[in-house]
Amino acid sequence: EVQLLESGGGLVQPGGSLRLSCAVSGFTFSMYAMSWVRQAPGKGLEWVSSISGSGGSTYYADSVKGRCTISRDNSKNTLFLQMISLRTEDTAVYYCARDSGSYGTFYFDYWGQGSLVTVSS
């Protein structure tokens, strides 16, 4: 059974930093690209970042470029999102999602339960 479990969310002050993790199981992690998608309270879905199966290619939304770094540890089946210089508009539930392939552009076939990040003073 495919499982994705996010952790690391919480309350952070504007300008602060946070690292989200997503531990996966039930599939060969390195064979799939992975992504982060967020959802602000009461709003729609917004793609944040993606990383190829090998970790050699990364992609970012303009809204987080330069402030977020996606990475993965294929030996530990874990995906990360390091966020710095956080803004109030970054407040959202952050979902990790499995891309439907390893390298290229894909839809998301499995999602985690989400981790809430609240940026507030």
Q: In the complex, which residues of this chain contact other proteins (CB under 8 A)?
A: 35, 37, 44-47, 50, 59, 61-62, 95, 100, 105-114
Residue nearer to other proteins on the CB measure, 41 or 75 = 41
Residue nearer to other proteins on the CB measure, 17 or 40 = 40
- Are residues 70 and 58 in contact, defined by beta-carbon separation less than 8 angstroms? yes
Residue nearer to other proteins on the CB measure, 20 or 37 = 37
- Rounded to a whole number of angstroms, the minimum distance from the CB of residue 46 to other proteins is 7
Sign, CA dihedral 8-75-112-86, equals: positive
- Are residues 25 and 77 in contact, defined by beta-carbon separation less than 8 angstroms? yes
- Rounded to a whole number of angstroms, the minimum distance from the CB of residue 13 to other proteins is 26
- Rounded to a whole number of angstroms, the minimum distance from the CB of residue 54 to other proteins is 17
- Rounded to a whole number of angstroms, the minimum distance from the CB of residue 57 to other proteins is 10
Nearest to 79 by CA among 36, 28, 22: 22
Residue nearer to other proteins on the CB measure, 66 or 121 = 66
